[in-house]
Structure 1
Amino acid sequence: MRNVWMTLTSFALVSVAVAAEGKELPANDRYVCSWGAGTAARAQELKLSGVSLYAARQKLQTYKFTKGWMRMMAMGITEQTYDSPSRAKPATVRQSFYDDCVRFKLARK
């Protein structure tokens, strides 16, 4: 009987681990993370090239955004990027932002 319980318990643990690992992001969440990562990378490029936060905000005002929430989100991402003391390359910022966003979205589910 003890062996049966141990076997059932191990199968249950394996199935929970597989279910937790198998989560996949919906396309909309992947798009949001990818768009945000690109925005953060562009903001880091501007920051490293010496463009002021004010000028970066003005540049954002000229962009055409496809969704209503994008402008304010881009402003927030840009401000956070400028507030950070990081001097990392834009590609590193892009990857870091994307990885953190995906991790956050998966943890929320």
Structure 2
Amino acid sequence: MRHVLITLTSLALIGGACSAQARELAANDRYVCSWGAGTAARAQELKLSGVSLYAARQKIQVYKFSKGWMRMMALGITEQTYDSPSRIKPEALRKSFYDDCLRYKLARR
């Protein structure tokens, strides 16, 4: 009887741990990743077209953002994009950024 109770308790704990890992990301996490990927792609477009980092920063300063954290995040993403020697196409960068962001969000759970 004792062994049966221990076995059932172990299986319940394992099942709970597996269901916690298999949870989907929240809609907000997907939104943040999508928004960041779009910001990185726009920054890459500007970089490849020859726009200076200073001009790109000025464009961001003028833009109206819906949330307070977005301006600083957009500036950071733009600076990192300009600092990178990468010359990949903006759409490839968008997909890579989005996939990496989702992977990061899942790893944090």
- Structures share fold, TM-score greater than 0.5: yes
Q: Aligned pairs, how many?
A: 99
Following the alignment from structure 1 to structure 2, what is the Cα–Cα distance between the partners of residues 51 and 82? 10
TM-score, structure 2 normalization? 0.82
Q: Where in structure 1 do 4 or more consecutive aligned residues deviate above 2 Å?
A: 14-23
Superposed CA RMSD in Å reads: 1.9
Instruction: Point out where structure 2 has 5 or more consecutive residues left out of the alignment.
Output: 1-7
Choose 59-68 or 21-30, whichever is displaced more. Answer: 21-30
Deviation, structure 1 residue 18: 5.7
Deviation, structure 1 residue 104: 0.4
SS of corresponding position for 1:25: coil
SS of corresponding position for 1:85: coil
Choose 92-101 or 15-24, whichever is displaced more. Answer: 15-24
TM-score, structure 1 normalization? 0.82
Counterpart position of 1:53: 53
* 1:66-100 superposed Cα distances (whole Å, 9 cap, x missing partner): 00000000000000000000000000000000000
**Closer/same/farther in 2, CA of residues 16 and 96 from structure 1, 3 Å limit:** farther
